[in-house]
């Protein structure tokens, strides 16, 4: 009898174990959420603590409507949104990259935007910002930031090579890049004249698109129905990058995000958000950093692309009204300094707020001339297309550009193939 | 290994015939009842996590679905297969070609190395100790294996480039140069799977009777020709098994790719499993992803059959 | 037989190979002790300047290690227990109990081993998310918050039963003499009791082997757990957490900390493996001779 009893104990234990672990872990009580959740990529400081400060302020004033932030790194954000949405643990508020607007709208992730919010966005945000949150003429959420591109350069490295001003044309760019490059005895690059980085889609695609625009080319055609980058301007921009790699002044294997702040890359193209991060990582060395508008083939040419982030409400949220309430407070209501909370927060990081009144209210508070090129670029920067296949298109374009960088394809082949693939995807979707 | 003799279901245990007929029938009934009871958890599991998913995968592969709302599935027939297998689709080239190169490379490397090492180990003292060393990667998570090697390959500060620099060669961008990225990952896959190959091959080597070698020694054959003419042919069944299982493993492996390269640079290390994962869980194209999974399964199936057929035929020719 | 020459070539081959196998692990351990800025300094140095445990502290403070360990242990524990229980019962039924359909079921179990796991990744994810009656779902599996996918059950559900396990146990149970079982039946023992008091003790070694194989596989599982912990970060296991360390931290300082994390997550499996090596190796060999 003893053995049978043991067997019964084993069986019971199994049932209990399975049953117990099927219990819910957190967040869910009685099937409904008791807090609003925001999913964002603000996973590191100063972004993380800045957002948390605003959320804390709201939570203190609204004990009945608590907000909780969930942050993942940018690399994982799209996958996290997709997986959670399908897996059922969808956040109430999605803070996402403008490129994904089309994909998220088509999968029905984003809830309808209330008319007053849509009107507020159309009336009060800069054209680049409105463009970044518009999918098929529909506003998908509040633009939280707009990013444009500029040429970062290290004044100290340029001065050591005998230059006291940033390049104003492609020719000068190549000349200064060559003059600032240094190598060790075994031929490894110690200081790269120009920074190009592979392996990360934005770092590969956006500088090239900016150069393409500075040459007078376009990424998309006028009405956004087909690509326009397989053009003389597009080829010239890619040939410029390829030349610098072949001459050994740029090396895509170097991670510019590390090498530029450590003073081993002289120039590179990046977006405005980087200023905040450079200030934190470089400390006093930040004095060496200058930013200029991106030069074009001739003196006086310039160009940039623009992208942004938006905060939208999940169509799966059971508290959509509450979520919009919170977003309106965050993005629409003026604080003590005359600007919205989101605007002040973005501005403090060196990012241009999308809301025009915010930029005006805050204009006097920062005197770093490095911001000027990014503000100037708002005038001419073209927004990144955000259709259904936006991320896929960008990933394939990244592949084509990297293939040119590494010499696997010629500029002509790569751009023709990338354009054909992207146009096919556009006509399907 | 004698415990394995009963592997064919035909050799069922001879039930005791001593029992009287009545109680025999009763005992049979009781046994049948118990058997179904004992098998029920297993069968229930396979119903939910094998049969149902297979049907689900086939259904999804014939549809377009953007994720999350099951009512929005749209049936589109074979469109997904048409799209991923069409000319110019990146799934066939480079992704499937990469998958095959990855598997062929890793299996070839692991097989040659493991035959040589397994053969050498049997002649050493402390066999077990040596084998354990080769076995370490098998029990290590792929996250560790991938990261360890990622840092070994690092151009600035990794061990391999450190050694190259020390002999005056400038650093190689192993993982960010598309020409070297795939071979670099292949080496890691082979490194990680060599242990189990050695183990199984050792078992196969030990099963070869000594008399064969003794006969060879009388004929005055060299060690090399003994290896070539006695060991290898007799090892064929074991080799076949190792090859097939490693192939299946390598064709579907993509955890290593996630950890080390995320398919880059320029799709140079993108393999079918990773693309499937990416299409579903990143781009939200669940139908396309399911179609890719089924195509990969078909590829694995066909390659396995080919290997079996090839080895059978060779076996017949030589014997 | 004439005495064989000393196999110096074999020693050389095996030793060089062993070096290639072991040096990466040593590099992991040594790097985990390197200080800030020490990794990446040229020329390369194998040994750290001094053995500083700061990186281990950092790994612990950056990640919720107790939770990661608890999740990994829960997942592995349930999977091992369930695999052993179901495989032993099913193996006994398929080996020794007489009933109609046994041959077909045995073939079915063999057939399940043919399907590679990646095929089930997407459907299993969707099945758990739409599990009827769980996580707010209705009886048709719709409408809720992730079904079972947000619960601990999601971690181990796909690993509860192993086709290979059933096969392995069946092969061992077949070897038990029928006379022992028959004698027990004549004594009036029920099948459950026969299983528990005869089959289980007789196959103890095989159970340890299977348990160990399952332990290593499930503990090291990465892709499924990555998906599950993307849905609900509370379910994160050790391998996923360690991989995440890279994106959490300042890239200039991460390498040594990631290595420290890897040492922490690799150590338990390595210890268990070294202790019970012979069982594990036997399992691998058996899987080779099927």
Smallest CA–CA distance, residue A6 to chain C, in Å, is 8
Alpha helices in A22-166 (DSSP H): 47-61, 74-87, 101-106, 115-124, 127-132, 155-160
Chain centroid to Cα A327, Å, comes to 20
The closest alpha carbon to C70, from C260, C268, C277, belongs to C268
Q: Kindly report, residue by residue over C65-95, the tens digit of the pLDDT.
A: 899 999 999 999 999 999 999 999 999 999 9
Mutation site, B157, B189, B212, interface C, largest C CB count within 10 A: B157
- Give the mean pLDDT of chain B: 83
What tokens appear for B190 in the block? 């082979």
Say which residues have a Cβ less than 8 Å from residue C173's Cβ, sequence separation at least 6.
Answer: C91, C92, C94, C95, C96, C199, C202, C203
ipTM score here? Answer: 0.86
Cβ contacts (< 8 Å) between C287 and chain B: which residues?
Answer: 200
pLDDT by 10s per residue, chain A, length 429: 444 555 554 455 444 444 444 444 444 433 445 789 999 988 877 788 889 999 999 999 988 889 999 888 887 888 888 888 887 778 899 999 988 888 888 778 888 899 999 999 999 988 888 888 888 888 999 999 888 999 999 999 999 999 999 999 999 999 999 999 998 777 778 899 999 987 778 889 999 999 999 999 988 887 777 889 999 999 999 999 999 999 989 988 888 888 899 899 999 999 988 888 888 788 889 999 999 999 999 998 999 988 989 999 998 888 899 999 999 999 988 887 888 999 888 888 777 788 888 877 877 776 788 888 988 888 888 888 887 778 878 888 888 898 899 888 899 989 998 888 788 777 665
Query: What dihedral angle (degrees, nearest 10) is formed by the CA atoms of A155, A157, A159, A162?
Result: -140
Q: What's residue A368's pLDDT? A: 82
**Distance (Å, rounded) from C-alpha B133 to C-alpha B194?**
11
The answer as to whether C185 is a domain residue is yes
Contact B113 C17 (CB under 8 A): yes
For residue C8, give the chain B residue with the closest CA: B124
The Cβ of residue B90 has, within 10 Å, a number of other Cβ atoms equal to 17
Q: What's residue A21's pLDDT? A: 45
- The length of chain B, given as a count of residues: 319
Which residue bears the tokens 């290896």?
A: B227
Mutation site, A82, A87, A255, A256, interface C, largest C CB count within 10 A: A87
A28 within 8 A of C135, measured Cβ to Cβ? yes
Task: Delineate the domains of chain A, giving CATH numbers in brackets.
Answer: 33-147+307-383 (3.40.190.10), 149-305+386-428 (3.40.190.10)
List all chains that touch chain C, counting a touch as 3 or more CB pairs closer than 8 Å.
Answer: A, B
Please give the residue range of the domain that contains residue C168.
30-289
Q: What's residue A404's pLDDT? A: 92
The answer as to whether C158 is a domain residue is yes
Candidates B57, B134, B238; nearest CB to C122: B57
Which residue bears the tokens 């994106």?
A: C247
pLDDT at B12 over 50: no
Q: What's residue B21's pLDDT? A: 60
Q: What is the mean pLDDT of residues C152-174?
A: 92
Pairing type for strands A36-40 and A265-271 reads unpaired
User: Quick one: fold of B90-318?
Assistant: MetI-like fold (1.10.3720)
**Residues of C (228-267) whose Cβ lies below 8 Å from B:** 230, 238-240, 242-243, 246, 255, 258-259, 262, 265-266
Q: What is the mean pLDDT of residues B214-231?
A: 77
Q: What's residue A18's pLDDT? A: 46
Sign of CA dihedral C258, C259, C264, C268: positive
CA–CA distance from A325 to each of A57, A97, A107, A330, A357 (Å)?
14, 21, 24, 9, 21
Residue C200: in which H helix or E strand, if any? helix C200-202
Query: What dihedral angle (degrees, nearest 10) is formed by the CA atoms of B61, B67, B73, B75?
Result: -30
**Distance (Å, rounded) from C-alpha A407 to C-alpha A246?**
9
pLDDT confidence tier of residue C283, bands split at 50, 70 and 90: confident
Contact A108 B281 (CB under 8 A): no
Phi and psi of C4, rounded to 5°? -80, 150
The Cβ of residue B47 has, within 10 Å, a number of other Cβ atoms equal to 10
**Distance (Å, rounded) from C-alpha B294 to C-alpha C198?**
43
Q: What's residue A313's pLDDT? A: 94
Q: Kindly report, residue by residue over B100-118, the tens digit of the pLDDT.
A: 999 999 999 999 999 999 9
pLDDT confidence tier of residue C1, bands split at 50, 70 and 90: very low
The closest alpha carbon to A93, from A282, A269, A305, A321, belongs to A321
pLDDT at C219 over 60: yes
**Distance (Å, rounded) from C-alpha A273 to C-alpha A146?**
9
Burial class for B179, CB neighbours closer than 10 Å (0-12, 13-18, 19+): middle
Q: Kindly report, residue by residue over C264-275, the tens digit of the pLDDT.
A: 888 888 888 888
Burial class for A337, CB neighbours closer than 10 Å (0-12, 13-18, 19+): middle
Pick the more confident residue, C218 or C246: C218
List all chains that touch chain A, counting a touch as 3 or more CB pairs closer than 8 Å.
Answer: B, C
If one counts the domains in chain C, the total is 1
Sign of CA dihedral B78, B80, B83, B85: negative
The closest alpha carbon to C156, from C216, C72, C65, C265, belongs to C72
Q: What's residue B101's pLDDT? A: 95
Q: What is the mean pLDDT of residues B3-9?
A: 40
**Distance (Å, rounded) from C-alpha A316 to C-alpha A88?**
9
CA–CA distance from B207 to each of B2, B135, B203, B210 (Å)?
12, 21, 6, 9
Q: Is B187 on the interface with C (CB under 8 A)?
A: no
Least confident window among A252-256, B128-132, B239-243, C5-9: C5-9
**Distance (Å, rounded) from C-alpha B66 to C-alpha A53?**
35
**Distance (Å, rounded) from C-alpha A150 to C-alpha B171?**
31
Q: What's residue C40's pLDDT? A: 65
Residue burial C70-100, b: 16+ Cβ < 10 Å; e: rest: ebbebbbebbbbbbbbbbbbbbbbbbbbebe
**Distance (Å, rounded) from C-alpha B17 to C-alpha B22?**
12
| SS3 assignment, position B68 | coil
The answer as to whether C4 is a domain residue is no
pLDDT at B4 over 50: no
The answer as to whether C83 is a domain residue is yes
Least confident window among A9-13, B220-224, C196-200: A9-13
pLDDT confidence tier of residue B222, bands split at 50, 70 and 90: confident
Q: Is C115 on the interface with B (CB under 8 A)?
A: yes
**Distance (Å, rounded) from C-alpha A349 to C-alpha A365?**
12
Query: Would you give the DSSP letter of residue A295?
Result: B
The CATH number linked to C63 is: 1.10.3720.10
A429 within 8 A of A387, measured Cβ to Cβ? yes
What tokens appear for A51 in the block? 């957002």
pLDDT confidence tier of residue C2, bands split at 50, 70 and 90: very low
For residue A77, give the chain B residue with the closest CA: B282
**Distance (Å, rounded) from C-alpha B187 to C-alpha B105?**
8
What tokens appear for C144 in the block? 């809720």
Least confident window among B9-18, B259-268, C78-87: B9-18
Q: What's residue C289's pLDDT? A: 46
């Amino acid at each position: 009898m003893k053995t049978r009893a043991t067997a019964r104990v084993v069986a019971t234990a199994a049932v209990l174990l399975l049953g117990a672990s099927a219990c819910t872990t957190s967040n869910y009580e009685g099937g409904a959420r008791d807090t609003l959740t925001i999913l964002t990529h603000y996973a590191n400081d100063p972004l993380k603590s800045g957002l948390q400060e605003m959320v804390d302020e709201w939570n203190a004033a609204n004990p009945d409507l608590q907000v909780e932030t969930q942050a993942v790194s940018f690399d994982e954000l799209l996958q996290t949104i997709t997986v959670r949405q399908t897996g059922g643990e969808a956040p109430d508020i999605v803070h996402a990259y403008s490129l994904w607007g089309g994909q998220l709208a088509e999968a029905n992730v984003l809830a309808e935007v209330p008319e007053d919010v849509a009107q507020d966005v159309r009336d009060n945000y800069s054209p680049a910002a409105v463009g970044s949150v518009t999918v098929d003429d529909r506003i998908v959420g509040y633009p939280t930031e707009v990013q444009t591109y500029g040429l970062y350069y290290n004044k100290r490295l340029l001065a050591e090579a005998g230059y006291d001003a940033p390049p104003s044309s492609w020719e000068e760019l190549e000349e200064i890049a060559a003059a600032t490059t240094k190598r060790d005895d075994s031929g490894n690059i110690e200081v790269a004249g120009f920074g190009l980085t592979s392996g990360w889609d934005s770092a590969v695609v956006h500088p090239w698109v900016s150069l393409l625009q500075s040459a007078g080319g376009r990424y998309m055609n006028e009405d956004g129905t087909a690509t326009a980058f397989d053009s003389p301007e597009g080829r010239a921009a890619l040939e410029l990058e390829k030349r610098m790699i072949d001459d050994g002044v740029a090396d895509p294997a170097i991670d510019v995000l590390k090498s530029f702040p450590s003073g081993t890359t002289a120039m590179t193209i990046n977006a405005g958000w980087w200023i905040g991060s450079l200030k934190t990582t470089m400390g006093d060395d930040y004095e060496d950093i200058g930013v200029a508008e991106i030069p074009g083939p001739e003196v006086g040419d310039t160009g940039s692309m623009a992208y942004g982030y938006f905060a939208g409400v999940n169509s799966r949220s059971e508290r959509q009204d509450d979520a919009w309430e919170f977003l309106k407070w965050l993005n629409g209501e003026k604080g003590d300094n005359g600007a919205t909370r989101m605007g002040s927060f973005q501005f403090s990081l060196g990012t241009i707020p999308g809301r025009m009144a915010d930029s005006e209210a805050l204009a006097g508070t920062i005197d770093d001339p490095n911001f000027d090129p990014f503000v100037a670029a708002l005038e001419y920067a073209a927004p990144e297309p955000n259709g259904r296949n936006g991320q896929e298109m960008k990933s394939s374009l990244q592949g084509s550009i990297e293939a040119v960088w590494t010499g696997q394809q010629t500029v002509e082949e790569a751009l023709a193939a990338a354009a054909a693939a992207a146009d096919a995807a556009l006509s399907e979707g | 290994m004698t415990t394995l003799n009963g592997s064919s279901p035909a050799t069922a245990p001879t039930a005791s015939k001593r029992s009287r007929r009545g109680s025999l029938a009763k005992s049979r009934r009781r046994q049948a009842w118990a058997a179904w009871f004992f098998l029920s958890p297993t069968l229930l599991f396979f119903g939910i996590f094998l049969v149902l998913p297979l049907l689900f995968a086939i259904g999804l592969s014939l549809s377009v679905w953007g994720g999350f709302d099951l009512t929005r599935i749209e049936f589109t027939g074979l469109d997904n297969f048409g799209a991923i297998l069409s000319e110019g689709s990146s799934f066939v080239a480079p992704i499937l070609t990469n998958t095959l190169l990855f598997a062929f490379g890793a299996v070839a490397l692991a097989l040659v190395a493991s035959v040589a090492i397994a053969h050498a180990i049997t002649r050493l003292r402390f066999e077990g100790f040596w084998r354990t060393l080769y076995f370490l990667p098998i029990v290590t998570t792929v996250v560790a294996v991938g990261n360890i090697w990622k840092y070994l390959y690092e151009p600035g500060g990794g061990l391999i480039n450190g050694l190259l620099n020390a002999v005056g060669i400038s650093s190689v961008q192993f993982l960010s140069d598309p020409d070297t990225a795939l071979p670099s990952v292949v080496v890691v896959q082979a490194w990680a799977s060599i242990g189990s190959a050695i183990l199984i091959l050792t078992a196969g080597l030990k099963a070869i009777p000594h008399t064969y070698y003794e006969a060879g020694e009388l004929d005055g054959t060299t060690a090399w020709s003994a290896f070539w003419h006695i060991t290898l042919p007799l090892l064929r069944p074991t080799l076949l098994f190792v090859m097939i299982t490693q192939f299946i493993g390598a064709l579907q492996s993509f955890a290593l790719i996630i950890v080390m390269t995320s398919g880059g640079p320029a799709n140079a290390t993108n393999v079918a499993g990773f693309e499937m994962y990416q299409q579903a869980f990143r781009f939200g194209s669940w139908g396309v992803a399911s179609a890719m999974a089924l195509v990969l399964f078909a590829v694995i199936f066909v390659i396995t059959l080919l290997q079996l057929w090839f080895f059978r035929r060779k076996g017949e020719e030589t014997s | 037989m004439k005495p064989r020459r000393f196999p110096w070539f074999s020693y050389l081959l095996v030793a060089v190979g062993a070096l290639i196998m072991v040096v990466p692990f040593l590099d992991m351990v040594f790097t985990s002790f390197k200080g800030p800025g020490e990794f990446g300094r040229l020329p390369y140095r194998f040994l750290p300047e001094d053995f500083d445990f700061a990186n281990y502290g950092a790994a612990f403070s950056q990640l919720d290690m107790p939770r990661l360990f608890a999740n990994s242990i829960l997942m592995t524990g349930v999977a091992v227990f369930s695999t052993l229980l179901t495989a032993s019962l099913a193996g006994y039924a398929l080996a020794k109990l007489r009933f109609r359909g046994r041959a077909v079921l045995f073939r079915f179990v063999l057939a399940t081993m043919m399907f590679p796991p990646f095929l089930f990744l997407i459907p299993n994810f969707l099945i758990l998310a739409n599990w009827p009656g769980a996580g707010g779902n209705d009886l048709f599996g719709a409408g809720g918050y992730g079904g079972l996918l947000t619960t601990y059950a999601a971690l181990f559900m796909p690993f509860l039963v192993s086709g290979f396990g059933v096969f392995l146990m069946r092969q061992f149970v077949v070897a038990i003499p029928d006379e022992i079982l028959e004698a027990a039946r004549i004594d009036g023992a029920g099948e459950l009791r026969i299983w528990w008091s005869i089959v289980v003790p007789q196959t103890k070694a095989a159970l340890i082997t299977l348990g160990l194989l399952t332990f290593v596989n499930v503990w090291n599982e990465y892709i499924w757990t990555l998906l599950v912990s993307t849905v609900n970060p509370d379910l994160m296991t050790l391998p996923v957490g360690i991989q995440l360390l890279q994106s959490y931290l300042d890239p200039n300082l991460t390498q040594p900390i990631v290595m420290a994390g890897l040492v922490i997550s690799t150590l338990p499996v390595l210890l268990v493996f070294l202790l019970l090596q012979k069982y594990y190796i036997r399992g691998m060999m058996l899987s080779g001779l099927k």
